[in-house]
Structure 1
Amino acid sequence: MQFGIFSVGDVTTDPTNGRTPSEAERIKAMVRVALKAEEVGLDVYASGEHHNPPFVPSSPTTMLGYIAAKTSKIILSTATTLITTNDPVKIAEDYAMLQHLADGRVDLMMGRGNTGPVYPWFGQDIRNGIELAIENYHLLHRLWREDVVDWEGKFRTPLQGFTATPRPLDGVPPFVWHGSIRSPEIAEQAAYYGDGFFANHIFWPTDHFQRLINLYRRRYEHYGHGSADQAIVGLGGQVFIRPNSQDAIREYRPYFDNAPVYGHGPSLEDFMAQTPLTVGSPQQVIERTLTFRENFGDYQRQLFLADHAGLPLKTVLEQLDILGEQVIPVLRKEFDALRPSHVPDGPTHAALVAEHDQQAETEAEPTPETETSRA
């Protein structure tokens, strides 16, 4: 089981003192949070991709490449790579380059984003969102697996004899998650390719995401990648932790009430009741997170949203200390003890390389038919 954090990279005024960090301060804070995540023993740091205020992470590869040079263990991921508005050729080359620089500690989460105007900014039409996601990923999948690609589609110019460089590290592309909060087509896409499906269920009720994940699991098995319970599932989450719940709620409430996405909407108590948001003690976070397995089955990756809504960097780093010291060790032990042996661990480059090499050896082994024909 992999545990980590993701950042949306918002620049938000601290409602308790009225101070707004500069873009430079926010970018440097994201780096500091990533380094702290590795320091406290988390497995994954993921950055969002946005191209509009109040967000700063418009270039995840730049951010993650910088973090890669300062870390040695943590997996560096995206919380969204906009498969609809980024050129798949550029994605293929940028993330293969990052994969080499980070010694394989890279994966991606494909998504369509939640900002409609981004489509015309990059020359696309939001009405083609699903079609773009399907066609662009089909091309990206080929670019990472075929040395020379001839291709023609609907949304970009054709390719003739094209080779994306550099080639994926060790001949193995970065692992891909397909993220969705509403679209069954994306769950189907993830299942078709045998990729991971990430349900960032921090906004909508549990039963909605149960339907999406169950669809993905059934279709994963249908396409022959393994049994439904072996499908690779990731979940989002959101926490704020203090030694006792009263202090946690009192401190977090002004940030929740003024958050850029859900501020001035449902009450903190209503939002906690309807979504995975947990504001409370370490034990409350542990108990709530363990219920995710009851709702969604065994899964491979849990990411928490920790730095957003104007929370000061000092507070975020304190949150990571609590996660690393008091929460994650317990969750890791509990989840690993509950997971059946046939259900895979979270994806890593080393595991993907081993699987790739084993498959190559199997394909190279002579069959009884080939031995007979040789005779």
Structure 2
Amino acid sequence: MQFGIFTVGDVTTDPTTGRTPTEHERVKAMVAIALKAEEVGLDVFATGEHHNPPFVPSSPTTMLGYIAARTERLILSTSTTLITTNDPVKIAEDFAMLQHLADGRVDLMMGRGNTGPVYPWFGQDIRNGIPLAIENYALLHRLWREDVVDWEGRFRTPLQGFTSTPRPLDGVPPFVWHGSIRSPEIAEQAAYYGDGFFANNIFWPKEHYQRLIGLYRQRYAHYGHGAPEQAIVGLGGQVFMRKNSQDAIREFRPYFDVAPVYGHGPSLEEFMRETPLTVGSPEQVVERTLKFREYFGDYQRQLFLVDHAGLPLKTVLEQIDMLGEEVVPVLRKEFAIGRPANVPDAPTHSSLLAARTAEPAPAEA
């Protein structure tokens, strides 16, 4: 099972000091977070994509390419890549290039994003969000698998005899997760292609995500990719830790109370009861995360959000240290217990390449 960090790259004022980091500081902080993730033995670093303040990660492949040059083992991913407003041709090219530079340590998460105004900035209409996601991914899927593509659709100019370059490393496209907070259409899309499904799992009660993941598993089997329990599922999580829970709650509360996303709403205690947010000791984080398997079944990837709401970099790096030293080793051990043999690991470039190599050659006519 894979464990890692995902970030949205927000630039938020620290409510305890009144200081707002510069964009330069925030960009460099995201790099430091990725390097720390590898240092402590985590598997994945994923960055969001945003094109509006107060966020900085407008060019994920640029950042991930820089991180690739400074790491050796870390899988580099996104959370998310905007399949609705990016040209599928450019996604195909950018991530294939990154795949080569990172020697295959690349996958990506497709999503529609959560910022409505981004659509007209890139010449699209938010009312076409789902059709854009479906059509654009259908094209991207072909661009990585066919050397020459003829294509015509609704939302971009046709392609005639087009070859996306560079071709995917070893002829193996990056593995794709489809991320969703609320859309069954995206769960259906992930199932249709046999791709992974990533449930954000930080804002809503577990019952909401149980429905989405259950639908994905059911449809994954329907399309003949395997049994429902073999579907590839990823989950988000949101944590803040200190040695004892009282200190964690006291320190995190001012950040929670004014956070741009959920501040000025339910209390911290209410939010922890109704969502997967865990503020407490490392032992409490382990206990809460292990329950995810009870709710959603065995799954392949767990990413944690730890660098938001104005938390200073020093504090975030301390959180990652605790994940690497006190949380993830226990989770690896506990999640392995009783895991059925037919439940696959999260796909990697090497596993996808091995599976392709093992495929029988097509019969001659």
TM-score (norm 2): 0.99
Q: Which residue of 2 aligns with 1:6?
A: 6
Deviates more, 1:208-217 or 1:337-346: 337-346
Structure 1 runs of 4+ off > 2 angstroms?
Answer: none
Which residue in 2 is equivalent to 1:201? 201
1:240 alignment partner, SS class: strand
Equivalent residue runs for 1:311-330 within 5 Å: 311-330=311-330
1:16 aligned partner: 16
**Deviation digits for residues 220-245 of structure 1 (CA, Å, limit 9, x no counterpart):** 00000000000000000000010000
TM-superposed deviation, 1:79: 0.6
Q: Which amino acid aligns with 2:50?
A: H
- Distance in 2, Cα, partners of 1:16 & 1:274: 26
The match for 1:181 is 181
Separation in structure 1 between the aligned mates of residue 43 and residue 260 of structure 2, nearest angstrom: 27
Deviation at 1:319? Answer: 0.5
Write out per-residue CA displacement over residues 204-225 of structure 1, whole angstroms, 9 at most, x where no aligned residue. 1110110000000000000000
**SS at the partner of 1:41?**
coil
Partner residue, 2:248: 248
Deviation of the 1:278 alpha carbon: 0.3
Identity among equivalent pairs (%): 82
Q: Deviations over 1:84-140 (max 9, x none)?
A: 000000000000000000000000000000000000000000000000000000000
User: 1:363 Cα shift?
Assistant: 2.8
Residue aligned with 1:161, SS: strand
Q: Tell me the amino acid that sits aligned with residue 344 of structure 1.
A: P
Amino acid at match of 1:342: N
> Distance in 1 between the 2:67 and 2:337 partners?
32
CA displacement at 1:346 relative to structure 2: 1.2
Aligned-pair distance for 1:309?
Answer: 0.6
| Alignment partners' CA distance in 2, 1:306 and 1:127 | 32
SS state of the match for residue 42, structure 1? coil
Mapped partners of 2:287, 2:116: distance in 1: 37
Following superposition, the deviation at residue 14 of structure 1 comes to: 0.3
Q: What amino acid maps onto 1:190 in structure 2?
A: A
Which residue number in structure 2 is paired with residue 301 of structure 1? 301
Give the residue type in structure 2 aligned to 1:82: L
Query: Residue 166 of structure 2 aligns with which residue?
Result: 166
| Alpha-carbon distance, 1:338 to partner | 2.6
Match of residue 26 from structure 1: 26
1:50 aligns with 2:50: yes
Deviation at 1:258, TM superposition (A): 1.2
Can you list the C-alpha shifts for 1:4-45, whole angstroms capped at 9, x where unaligned? 010100000000000000000000000000000000000000
What is the distance in 1 between the residues matched to 2:347 and 2:147?
Answer: 24
- Report what 2:100 is aligned to: 100
Tell me the amino acid that sits aligned with residue 171 of structure 1: G
How big is the alpha-carbon RMSD for the aligned residues of Structure 1 and Structure 2? 0.9
1:336 Cα offset (Å): 1.4
**Mapped partners of 2:139, 2:123: distance in 1:** 18
Aligned residues: 365
Helix, strand or coil at the partner of 2:309: coil
The alpha-carbon deviation at position 259 of structure 1 amounts to 1.0
1:219 corresponds to: 219
Letter in 2 for 1:305: L
Which residues of structure 2 form unaligned runs of 5+? Answer: none
Deviation at 1:337, TM superposition (A): 1.8
Aligned-partner Cα distance in 2 for 1:135–1:363: 31
SS in 1 for 2:123: coil
Deviation at 1:145, TM superposition (A): 0.1
1:236-275 alignment, distance < 5 Å: 236-275=236-275
